[in-house]
Structure 1
């Protein structure tokens, strides 16, 4: 109740503000570099009668009028001119860095979007940073994991958690179209390729909380990706030991038609073979993605986005030995396997989008999409294990081997899981700007139909020291083997069998109002909106389904004082609901509960954005404090990346923390990041007290660093470093989570990439040189997990037959791996 009073008091205060506007100026600042990324002194930067000159570090600053088009001209006695057209808002400080050469003059229309993203608390990531970032799982997600508040302990997975949420709580849009991930994936090494093709990307925006009402119904974050619209023919290709890709840009002669098509292939054998489990294994993944644009005139734009992917995962484990315990009492788990696993994930996705620009102030959009996935998960794996002490005597014939067994047993896992899901979406949106664009109204309505056909058949038989182990929930008295024969029922230790045919119909919509003005000399920007979502679950054997509706009001306020220091303050508050998808409706036994409620979270976010100069180079420090209070929480167990819900809304939870990110030109001409995050999240199930949630990652440090050799600028260096404190080790899905509160070891990983760019000095080469035909040609060498750290993602639980103790055996990820890469762009 207090939270609601606070929210509406805040809204009342904002709506009562008396606003007025005044004419103002804006400031442009940046660094001018040459083609070798060295600063250029004495470059004249002018607009009409105003001018500025770069210093010895290449830095300049100039004041220009706001709210009108400004043409900046960069001139130097030995270099060709550069002309840039831009339009800034009052009191805005815009960073604009350029590279000058002695070749043809350059004309540039600058699209000013940084101010909008800044006031909304959105992190923008350059696509080029992602393409160059060394990572075992390349793509946008690999860079997100360096950001504060974003965590993942699996280098083989594209999944990530944000500020205490799980993998299912993150929205992902491509060209305003929501995309989905497979349902049955259990392990990161099964995932293959992320949906987003990095070579097709233009803009990447990310919000870790407190986002606007126009974004959908999830609890944690929004990743908003925009694909580019090509202007000319281009061809890009990449090849490495992990696979390859080819991307082609096509444009018609009349410029009305354009398309980008990308084909990607991935083979994770190099990474998987570095794990402890020895296998006969060659996982392969392939997808084709294409976007076609048609722009008949200035008012209409039509586009189609299509994607087809096929992931084949054939897995035959052979042996595994995991050493753990302490130096004084080393313990090892030694496993011998028989059997195999055959998984297949096939998805088809198509989306049609129409944009109608009625006039300068009114835009309408229609979006429809279809997503179809067919997934199968078949395995029969028999494992015989020995749990015991390790011989540590150097020189012994059995050094490193298990010499005394504390536990001997076998385990047989079986699954025949099939899922067929078809999603259909239709949505209409509108954007209206009023009163010289001071006000903006956004609205939208969406219909979704989800059809799921799911069969789950899983069972596990455990034998320890020759005795079949009954499940802990079997109520049978009198089992005192081996003294007396057991005459009770023989049942699997785990047995999950269910068939579900269900339909979910959803209606959702939003309306939001944005307003910008001034209070005295302070600029402010305000946004208020509300979302509504109605859904009902129907299907075979479902008769008691309820029609449920949620409302989610949200507000943001941003202030920019007229200070000498360039600072922005932002406060966001709002209700966030997550109506359950199919996976959240299915409990640990595979039974669907159609009346699972939407999880609810109230976000409070307070942030500061500070732009400053250090060594005459631009930097930005963003600090955010947040608190999330959660009700009707649908608790879950986490095994690798598979989430299984209890589907009972029996818990409350909270998450609180502090995120800090410093980014800027640590090296002239490059951008690097340094991130820090503190977070604590706990849940309370049925009033039993607070315990750590599976995503309770207390401390996080991240570094993304770029550099080049001053005497050899063609040689580039890229480093990706992450340190996370250990996550809770999880618990078996059948167990009481309150009795399993151990933590995994800290996660430490560093990936390094070196790239030699042959086309770095193309402007200095004569016409007709063979390298002139390439826009980019580079060779790369990458070292994944350069320090060879052993990182665990979850535990395997093994019973000691003597002490009846269950040991959590870490499931370690990949070791050090080397990779070569070739990149070509025409």
Structure 2
């Protein structure tokens, strides 16, 4: 309304200067009332969006206009490529996009009253007419489905110890209390309950990872990303068989040559892309290297740490004609984790009674993870209303986890005399002991997938279907044990019925056994057939718009393992539905109800019990989801756009496969002996808090409990009650070249404070709350948003973007713990849980360049 009245306001000011206000006061009042009546009765539709160049960078100064019977209406895109223009009601106009450096483009548009539509375009380097578009919808598909979309540019610039797609997922939808890990939990689920797709291909992660610092790199190369979609629950049948969430990633299709380089104290990446002369071939190739020494050396344990995390990834596309695309996605990665600890001292207790743990280490850990992945996808447009996809993929991982580490500890009082030469050291030992950990774990897994998908557009109806075959062949050798010696005698495991051991007061006559251990050699094969079909429709309900989706998934699988009886053939059927309505209100508000039955047939990790044995008849875990959402888009008086999404959810779970969680290692009991529930509320607000930037605020409350063998409900390992997350972007007003990015997370403590072997019904303990802030400052020499342009002979003209930044991880130096180390005091018979802290404050420089 105020934008329409702006010309009248200008006239009002001019007339006042000319001292003619009194003569037209009545006329102005009448005009004001007439315009207001028209505005409130029927708003003009608005088309807006972002204009990008061939390298997906925003274009400033594009002249967007159309000629109408009422004259020419125009606007200009800003530094972020954003434009917004009003369109006549129910009248076809030709909208032109004009810029001296790009081809003149046009778009035929017809829109209805009160509509808004987001139209993003890539402008090329003549004249290009875009296809006719009739826009009679007010929301896009992702909003209707409850999909969260995140800008790849935001993902690339967010600071964090483990940067990437998963870093922002932890803020907007997931939970994690470990900055060294790319894993995240969503609404009470664990790390194994999240689906990840890249280019319609399901992605797997290594099996033997037990700590975040072993991970190195996630599969997704953020420099290659075009689009990121995320759903935290209630997703459609077209997505696979997991209980918690879906992350769907699309890689970029290059339209010109380009290169992107990033380098920091933690590693670097180089990405190159290009197209053939006939435009039928395009490819993007990225290589990454990462070294977490800077982060790990900030921990309390002094180590000789030699990690090597590297991968090469490529996406090649071939278009024989306009209807057919053939794509290849390949990845080769090799992670080597060599860890040799020397010494650790952790002070804890109270001011009056300070206690310290000193540990002297001997031995080392050598882990290697090699992954080879390839996928071939063919997309063919059979007709205007039928598209067919055929997808095949192979995933092969070879993993080795070998360690022998002896830890000798002293637990005692701390010298608090500041003038003492031994200040901070253990003055009097309450307990001494040692612990020997041994492991020789090797795994080789081969997973093959073949899939066909069909998409049909039938006027207002959309039908989608797919069938898939999966073959899993896994060879696994597990040999690990732990021996604990305290005050000169071996401690027996708490879960084995052995004679009482009260040495040195009485001699022990029972057998000597490890405190904990597992030994197994497994050869396991799984054959799976799965499929889905779903229907979607958009319709009118009075003046309101509604969207409906209904679908069903099914999966059949059978497990065989050498030395075990073949498992039964099992089948699960998963019906799901969504209903969305946008009332005919002035407010841009949408309501959504979604849910259904979600099954998770067991993967290999869920088949293997804690002693290493295989249960070939583990049932699929089942969850019934109900999600009620409200999506409210609004603008401030200054024209800033915001979106507030609120989601209340409830899950009831049966046939739950309970587990223990230590760092990121999950060990299942493999017996489906529990039921559980989860409920909570998630709220997200994103928009332009600062003009030209996108920021996110999130809040979540959740409670999840499980009942094991009817013993009563207790907290699950992922029971994270409260979560706050902020991703804030800003720049210095007088020096816009200086950018700032803040990543702030607060999570309440997880129930991970007790030993993994303890009975959770007897001993419940939580870790402390997780608080962390990462901040990045960047000076942009040239790139989007930089007003100064350089001549062709200037060295900076070579770059489309060049920036140098400083990153500060854990800005406030919070001490966050991921697990506890448990030691015993033979004199007081107490056990002490000493926190294993994560990273402290770390500084790093980062260079980013794009040509």
TM-score under structure 2 length normalisation:
0.88
1:739 & 1:486 partners in 2: Cα distance?
Answer: 27
Residue from 280, 304, 312 that aligns with 2:304: 280
1:107 & 1:265 partners in 2: Cα distance?
Answer: 43
Residue from 238, 246, 249 that aligns with 2:270: 246
Indicate how the Cα distance of structure 1 residues 302 and 340 shifts in structure 2: closer, same or farther if over 3 A, else same: same
1:243 & 1:418 partners in 2: Cα distance?
Answer: 28
Indicate how the Cα distance of structure 1 residues 110 and 749 shifts in structure 2: closer, same or farther if over 3 A, else same: farther
Residue from 544, 550, 573 that aligns with 1:522: 544
Where does residue 189 of structure 2 map in the other structure? 165
Alignment deviations for residues 227-267 of structure 1 (CA, whole Å, 9 cap, x no partner): 11111111111111111111111211101011111111111
Indicate how the Cα distance of structure 1 residues 559 and 688 shifts in structure 2: closer, same or farther if over 3 A, else same: same
2:671 aligned with 1:648: yes
Residue 329 of structure 1 and its aligned partner are, at CA, apart by 2.7
Where does residue 775 of structure 1 map in the other structure? 800
Where does residue 32 of structure 2 map in the other structure? none
Indicate how the Cα distance of structure 1 residues 115 and 464 shifts in structure 2: closer, same or farther if over 3 A, else same: same
Q: Choose 1 or 2 for highest CA Rg.
A: 2
Residue 506 of structure 1 and its aligned partner are, at CA, apart by 0.4
1:73 & 1:161 partners in 2: Cα distance?
Answer: 46
1:88 & 1:740 partners in 2: Cα distance?
Answer: 66
Q: Secondary structure at the match of 1:354?
A: strand
Indicate how the Cα distance of structure 1 residues 512 and 686 shifts in structure 2: closer, same or farther if over 3 A, else same: same
Where does residue 594 of structure 1 map in the other structure? 616
1:638 & 1:82 partners in 2: Cα distance?
Answer: 58
Where does residue 163 of structure 2 map in the other structure? 138
1:382 & 1:652 partners in 2: Cα distance?
Answer: 39
Residue from 590, 603, 615 that aligns with 1:568: 590
1:622 & 1:400 partners in 2: Cα distance?
Answer: 50
Alignment deviations for residues 184-213 of structure 1 (CA, whole Å, 9 cap, x no partner): 000100001110011111110000000000
1:368 & 1:818 partners in 2: Cα distance?
Answer: 43
Q: Secondary structure at the match of 1:141?
A: helix
Where does residue 698 of structure 1 map in the other structure? 721
Residue 800 of structure 1 and its aligned partner are, at CA, apart by 2.3
When structure 1 is superposed on structure 2, of 738-747 and 719-728 the one drifting more is 738-747
1:648 & 1:634 partners in 2: Cα distance?
Answer: 6
Indicate how the Cα distance of structure 1 residues 81 and 305 shifts in structure 2: closer, same or farther if over 3 A, else same: closer
1:252 & 1:31 partners in 2: Cα distance?
Answer: 27
Where does residue 768 of structure 2 map in the other structure? 745
1:332 & 1:98 partners in 2: Cα distance?
Answer: 61
2:405 & 2:179 partners in 1: Cα distance?
Answer: 25
Q: Secondary structure at the match of 2:692?
A: coil
Where does residue 28 of structure 1 map in the other structure? 47
Unpaired runs of 5+ residues, structure 1, are 1-22
Where does residue 408 of structure 1 map in the other structure? 432
Where does residue 348 of structure 1 map in the other structure? 372
Alignment deviations for residues 284-318 of structure 1 (CA, whole Å, 9 cap, x no partner): 10000011111000121111111000000000000
Residue from 165, 189, 193 that aligns with 2:217: 193
Where does residue 176 of structure 1 map in the other structure? 200
Residue 107 of structure 1 and its aligned partner are, at CA, apart by 9.3
Residue from 445, 455, 461 that aligns with 2:467: 445
Where does residue 583 of structure 1 map in the other structure? 605
2:416 aligned with 1:392: yes
Show the 5 A alignment for 1:44-55. Answer: 45-46=65-66, 48-49=68-69
Residue 24 of structure 1 and its aligned partner are, at CA, apart by 12
Residue from 503, 512, 525 that aligns with 1:481: 503
When structure 1 is superposed on structure 2, of 744-753 and 803-812 the one drifting more is 803-812
Residue 774 of structure 1 and its aligned partner are, at CA, apart by 1.0
2:316 & 2:465 partners in 1: Cα distance?
Answer: 26
2:573 aligned with 1:548: no
2:146 aligned with 1:124: no
Residue 396 of structure 1 and its aligned partner are, at CA, apart by 3.0
Indicate how the Cα distance of structure 1 residues 203 and 70 shifts in structure 2: closer, same or farther if over 3 A, else same: farther
Q: Is the 8 A contact 1:59 1:617 kept in 2?
A: no
Q: Is the 8 A contact 2:104 2:126 kept in 1?
A: no
Where does residue 489 of structure 2 map in the other structure? 467
Q: Secondary structure at the match of 1:146?
A: helix
When structure 1 is superposed on structure 2, of 181-190 and 742-751 the one drifting more is 742-751
Residue from 817, 832, 851 that aligns with 1:792: 817
1:70 & 1:693 partners in 2: Cα distance?
Answer: 58
2:734 & 2:180 partners in 1: Cα distance?
Answer: 36
Show the 5 A alignment for 1:564-713. Answer: 564-614=586-636, 615-713=638-736
Indicate how the Cα distance of structure 1 residues 31 and 500 shifts in structure 2: closer, same or farther if over 3 A, else same: closer
Where does residue 508 of structure 1 map in the other structure? 530
Q: Is the 8 A contact 1:671 1:705 kept in 2?
A: yes
Indicate how the Cα distance of structure 1 residues 725 and 446 shifts in structure 2: closer, same or farther if over 3 A, else same: same
Indicate how the Cα distance of structure 1 residues 222 and 41 shifts in structure 2: closer, same or farther if over 3 A, else same: closer
Indicate how the Cα distance of structure 1 residues 55 and 766 shifts in structure 2: closer, same or farther if over 3 A, else same: closer
2:835 aligned with 1:813: no
Residue 408 of structure 1 and its aligned partner are, at CA, apart by 1.4
Residue 82 of structure 1 and its aligned partner are, at CA, apart by 8.0
Where does residue 349 of structure 2 map in the other structure? 325
Indicate how the Cα distance of structure 1 residues 423 and 485 shifts in structure 2: closer, same or farther if over 3 A, else same: same
2:524 & 2:338 partners in 1: Cα distance?
Answer: 30
Residue 480 of structure 1 and its aligned partner are, at CA, apart by 3.6
1:617 & 1:99 partners in 2: Cα distance?
Answer: 23
Show the 5 A alignment for 1:529-544. Answer: 529-544=551-566
Residue 406 of structure 1 and its aligned partner are, at CA, apart by 2.7
Q: Secondary structure at the match of 1:506?
A: strand
Where does residue 493 of structure 1 map in the other structure? 515
Residue 798 of structure 1 and its aligned partner are, at CA, apart by 1.9
Indicate how the Cα distance of structure 1 residues 282 and 85 shifts in structure 2: closer, same or farther if over 3 A, else same: farther
1:355 & 1:104 partners in 2: Cα distance?
Answer: 30
Alignment deviations for residues 30-66 of structure 1 (CA, whole Å, 9 cap, x no partner): 7999xxx999999875464466577999985513568
Where does residue 234 of structure 1 map in the other structure? 258
Show the 5 A alignment for 1:69-84. Answer: 71-73=94-96
1:389 & 1:278 partners in 2: Cα distance?
Answer: 21
Q: Is the 8 A contact 1:578 1:599 kept in 2?
A: yes
Q: Is the 8 A contact 1:587 1:647 kept in 2?
A: yes
Q: Is the 8 A contact 2:782 2:803 kept in 1?
A: yes
Indicate how the Cα distance of structure 1 residues 283 and 110 shifts in structure 2: closer, same or farther if over 3 A, else same: farther
CA RMSD for the aligned pairs?
3.0
Indicate how the Cα distance of structure 1 residues 217 and 400 shifts in structure 2: closer, same or farther if over 3 A, else same: same
Residue from 756, 761, 765 that aligns with 1:733: 756
2:848 & 2:140 partners in 1: Cα distance?
Answer: 33
1:349 & 1:635 partners in 2: Cα distance?
Answer: 30
1:741 & 1:767 partners in 2: Cα distance?
Answer: 67
Indicate how the Cα distance of structure 1 residues 128 and 208 shifts in structure 2: closer, same or farther if over 3 A, else same: same
When structure 1 is superposed on structure 2, of 103-112 and 268-277 the one drifting more is 103-112
1:56 & 1:70 partners in 2: Cα distance?
Answer: 19
Higher relative contact order (CA 8 A, sep 6+): 1
Where does residue 741 of structure 2 map in the other structure? 718
1:492 & 1:412 partners in 2: Cα distance?
Answer: 10
Indicate how the Cα distance of structure 1 residues 109 and 409 shifts in structure 2: closer, same or farther if over 3 A, else same: farther
Q: Is the 8 A contact 2:64 2:77 kept in 1?
A: no
Indicate how the Cα distance of structure 1 residues 106 and 296 shifts in structure 2: closer, same or farther if over 3 A, else same: closer
Aligned residues: 794
Indicate how the Cα distance of structure 1 residues 39 and 53 shifts in structure 2: closer, same or farther if over 3 A, else same: farther
Q: Is the 8 A contact 2:88 2:111 kept in 1?
A: no
Indicate how the Cα distance of structure 1 residues 782 and 633 shifts in structure 2: closer, same or farther if over 3 A, else same: same
Unpaired runs of 5+ residues, structure 2, are 1-41
2:343 & 2:825 partners in 1: Cα distance?
Answer: 20
Indicate how the Cα distance of structure 1 residues 56 and 249 shifts in structure 2: closer, same or farther if over 3 A, else same: closer
Where does residue 311 of structure 1 map in the other structure? 335
Where does residue 13 of structure 1 map in the other structure? none
